Structure 1
């Protein structure tokens, strides 16, 4: 979540309608600029100097979470916590897939057909005309947006202009067709699938398709839960404002991830209608219910460890997870662990960097460690303790040199396993699809397209490295490869040998036939040319391809009258 999770004891913590689609405008809103994420590890083990403040923003629209405390300090004793051991017999066999197969497992051919079907339905409902979108066009639409994330021009129209034209994008779809498909893209029926409880019902089928594939993945022993932001500045009831985040406006997406950044489950925050267990929410609070919701697919009693930051951490949450056979480790806010008899803040200020103290709950289920680095930080764990410690290097400003200090084991374990969601978010931010649209559905769909590409690349990279592959594509090359795959899959050639029959070339379209009856058109009576003043000039009815504002009063068609080309005369004299 944030670059620094330190908690100081003396620090005070404060507790739609669619827009008109068919004008092809992509300049309605300021662009969402991709800011380079300057994120460090969750705790400052590898950071020389970290004085940044906490990233837990004051949320004016959300009630402060219930404070979970242990009132009786006698429940805790100062002694070393015995770290558990993991009998990790899990073996991950690499998949012998091609690079594009990792992407196809998330978005199969059937999904593109669904997009085409509901996009056509939506266009028909809005305009009473046929769009005739096909699954191949949706593939090309996705390919264009994946490539746009690589090039990242400031305006979408620039990809088709003469001065800035990028053929790899412009040759896939015409500009107007691209904007029309992008603005109309749907995967649900607006008239039949509307839901009063699910605020994301317009994109729910696509989210379910992605999530079904994620749920088939093996769960590693170390998993983390964190939040990522889906950028959106438009209007929506669940849009959040996070002033201290790189992306301040958007939807909050809670994710379950591996240390490598592979997202295994997610849930978008919808306020009071977020689909979590209401009994857990009533018994504990919203954050505990979210963690419980994301842990449903984790096997019980198999030494799985969940890592969370201090936004989620509470003693009640860790005890609840432990009762369900899941261990947990996380940084904690000092106001949630007031019952633990930590050293007084005045005495703590006198201690040197590297000092730590550890308390264990009376039933030996939880460990609480407070460690001093740049600032004091508190960690709670049902799996790790402070020992064995290790030595880490730190820069001291006063001495102007680096020195080794003692670091508890729980801090090292937390740093190694916590940053999975942030890592995936960084991959997305590097080549984010910079869609400029006021439609929240478009923003969300292409965010999850980015997430799918990042997930597929992570799986491809892990499997390729495990089989000794040396020429592994980076994320930039992988995105281009997936775009080429989507385009090439729309250009299927017929199987078998070439036919010996002569190739029939398609005939050119004849010029438009005369709309007026020949007897009336060629009667040579009362065909007076009239100049018509109107905003746009119609094309010449004689088929020359030019525009004219001169109209035949009798025939009612527009015709050219020029020195070098008299279509008016030809139209009324030639058959």
Structure 2
């Protein structure tokens, strides 16, 4: 069936018959449809392809109004100016506050004990662990254990002085931010849901400290199976076989 908005060239170049009487048009259509005067639909006259429909009257007066856009955003309150002058570390600790650190300690020890492992992690060790993760983002080494090697070109005194290699590995194996005994199969991000909720609460509380915010996304390479995984092709419009998890 041809679409009147997307016709091939042959109907557009064919002859057109114009009728003033509707009955005469219907009889002509019946005559053409019952005959074999055409080989395919491309040879049909354009008048036979147009379906008669009710004409919609377009109102002469539009609903557009010429005016400035009104921003319906909350008023920016810059009453707490001290927090706007904090260092990068102090700003990070505003979000990863004691509540989040204590939740890491609680869920870590709970999971470790359930696996017959020592549940003796402390808040200072969690902070050291998070600090090493941040440092490894801009001091990159091929392997994690190289931060504790004796080689002068790889050993990092800050890392080795904060926590031992085996203790860091132990934290990496048992780190949790949710209660596994209350697993919700319908929640695809159940294991990080408590962390997201606490961070979102801090974001809302600290948002008035800045007037303009920039929100960006990052691509995290991930080759496992998870419901939140998206392909780069879907996110960027390109063609690739790699997969990633989108974090906003």
Q: Quickly name the TM-score band, shorter chain normalised.
A: 0.5 to 0.7
Question: Structure 1 residue 251 and structure 2 residue 245: aligned?
Answer: yes
Check conservation: 2:148, 2:156, Cα contact below 8 A: yes
Cα–Cα, structure 1 residues 131 and 219, in superposed 2: closer, same or farther, change >3 Å? closer
Question: Structure 1 residue 95 and structure 2 residue 86: aligned?
Answer: no
Please give the residue correspondences for 1:159-178 in structure 2 after superposition, counting only pairs within 5 Å: 159-163=147-151, 164-178=154-168
Alignment partner of 1:152 out of 140, 155, 174: 140
Aligned to 1:298: none
Shift of 1:249: 2.2
Please give the residue correspondences for 1:351-370 in structure 2 after superposition, counting only pairs within 5 Å: none
Alignment partner of 2:171 out of 169, 173, 181: 181
Q: Write the deviation string for residues 66-108 of structure 1: whole angstroms up to 9, x where unpaired.
A: xxxxxx8958999x97351557964534521342442222111
Please give the residue correspondences for 1:357-506 in structure 2 after superposition, counting only pairs within 5 Å: none
TM-score of the two chains, using structure 1 as the length reference: 0.28
Q: Tell me, what secondary structure is at the counterpart of 1:252?
A: strand
Q: Tell me, what secondary structure is at the counterpart of 2:101?
A: helix
Question: Structure 1 residue 206 and structure 2 residue 195: aligned?
Answer: yes
**Structure (1 or 2) with the greater strand fraction:** 1
Check conservation: 2:107, 2:178, Cα contact below 8 A: yes
Check conservation: 2:220, 2:246, Cα contact below 8 A: yes
Q: Tell me, what secondary structure is at the counterpart of 2:189?
A: coil
Aligned to 1:119: 108
Check conservation: 1:148, 1:169, Cα contact below 8 A: no
Question: Structure 1 residue 239 and structure 2 residue 219: aligned?
Answer: no
Cα–Cα, structure 1 residues 74 and 158, in superposed 2: closer, same or farther, change >3 Å? farther
Q: Write the deviation string for residues 446-501 of structure 1: whole angstroms up to 9, x where unpaired.
A: xxxxxxxxxxxxxxxxxxxxxxxxxxxxxxxxxxxxxxxxxxxxxxxxxxxxxxxx
Bigger Rg, which one: 2
Check conservation: 2:176, 2:191, Cα contact below 8 A: yes
Check conservation: 2:80, 2:209, Cα contact below 8 A: no
Alignment partner of 1:129 out of 102, 117, 124: 117
Q: Tell me, what secondary structure is at the counterpart of 1:250?
A: strand
TM-score of the two chains, using structure 2 as the length reference: 0.60
Work out the CA distance in 2 between the residues paired with 1:235 and 1:222: 37
Aligned to 1:138: 126
Work out the CA distance in 1 between the residues paired with 2:69 and 2:143: 54
Instruction: Report the number of matched residues.
Output: 180
Check conservation: 2:104, 2:126, Cα contact below 8 A: yes
Work out the CA distance in 2 between the residues paired with 1:224 and 1:74: 42
Cα–Cα, structure 1 residues 73 and 92, in superposed 2: closer, same or farther, change >3 Å? farther
Check conservation: 2:78, 2:209, Cα contact below 8 A: no
**Structure (1 or 2) with the greater helix fraction:** 2
Work out the CA distance in 2 between the residues paired with 1:239 and 1:94: 39
Q: Tell me, what secondary structure is at the counterpart of 1:240?
A: strand
Aligned to 2:38: none
Cα–Cα, structure 1 residues 91 and 134, in superposed 2: closer, same or farther, change >3 Å? closer
